[in-house]
Chains A and B, each alone.
Chain A
C-alpha cells in the first residue's frame, strides 16, 4: 500500500481530529490551573492560551484555508 493511499489518508484525517481534541483538552486544563496559580493567572497568559485554542479550532475544525484554497479540504 502506498504512503498516500485513500485508507491511510482517511485514518490520518480521523487521527488529526483526535489529536486536536486532546490538545484542546490539555490546553483547557492548563488554563484552569494557570488561573489558580499566581503569577500564571495574568490576563496575558490566559488570553494567549485561549488564542492557541482558537487557532487550533479555526485551522483544523473550521478549515479556514478552504476559503481561499482552490482544493477541497
Chain B
C-alpha cells in the first residue's frame, strides 16, 4: 500500500494493533509509519544543521576586526527586525494550521496555510528586495556578494536560508492544494506535520542567523 493511500485513509485503521496482518507479511500501521517518518525527518534536520552550523562558524571566523574583535557590516536593522517578525508570525500560523487539521477544522487549516505561505513570500521579498537590493530602483542594498568577506558571508547565509524558505513555501502550497482536494484528516495528517516541522526548522535557523548577521559585534564599514 502506498504512502498516499495511507494518507487518504484508505487503509483499514489498525492503530490499536501492533501490526497490520496481510497474509505473509506484516505491514506497519499508520502510527508506526508516522513514528518512523518523524525520526527520519529529525535525522534530515540533523544533517542540515551541519550546513547551517558551518555557515555560522564561517561568519564568526571571518568577521573579525584588526584586534580580533567580533564585527559586522552596516545593515538595515529595521529590515532585519521586520523580516524576523514576519517569519515568527508565519510559524504561528503554520502551527495553527497543524492544530486545525488535528481538530478537523478544514477551513481554518486551509486559511492558516495560505497566510503562512503569504508571510513566507513576504520574508523572501523582504530579503531579496530590501536587504539584497536586487531592485536598486526600489531599495538600494547595503552589500553586494563581491564586497569581500562581508558580502560573501551575508549572501551565503541569507541565500542558503532563502532557498529553504522558498522550498518551504512550495511545500506549504502543495499541502494546501492537497488539503483543498480533501486529503488529510484529524487522524491522518503526517504530510501536514512534516511540512509544519520543516517550516519551523527554517524559522529555527533564522533564530540564530538573525543575531549573527544583524546584532552581534561592532559595526564597521564594509569595503566596496
Contact mask B90-104 → A, CB, 8 Å, 1/0?
011011100100110
Which chain A residues lie closer than 8 Å to B215 at the CB level? 31-32, 34-35, 41, 46
Q: What's the dominant secondary structure at chain B's contact region?
A: helix
In this complex, how many residues of chain B approach chain A with their Cβ under 8 Å: the count is 35
Which chain B residues lie closer than 8 Å to A43 at the CB level? 70, 216-217
Min CB distance, B116 to chain A, in Å? 12
The answer to whether A28 and B203 touch (CB under 8 A), given A18-B92, A61-B95, is no
Which chain B residues lie closer than 8 Å to A25 at the CB level? 85, 88
* Cβ–Cβ contact A31 & B203, under 8 A: no
* Cβ–Cβ contact B216 & A35, under 8 A: yes
Q: Considering the complex, which residues of chain A in the window 38-71 have a beta carbon less than 8 Å from any beta carbon of chain B? A: 41, 43, 46-47, 49-50, 53-54, 57-58, 60-64, 66-67
**Can you spell out 17 A-B residue pairs with CB atoms less than 8 angstroms apart?**
A17-B99, A21-B92, A21-B95, A24-B88, A28-B81, A31-B215, A32-B77, A41-B216, A43-B70, A46-B211, A47-B211, A60-B95, A61-B91, A61-B95, A63-B197, A67-B38, A67-B39
Chain A positions near chain B (C-beta within 8 angstroms): 10, 13-14, 17-18, 20-21, 24-25, 28, 31-32, 34-35, 41, 43, 46-47, 49-50, 53-54, 57-58, 60-64, 66-67, 72
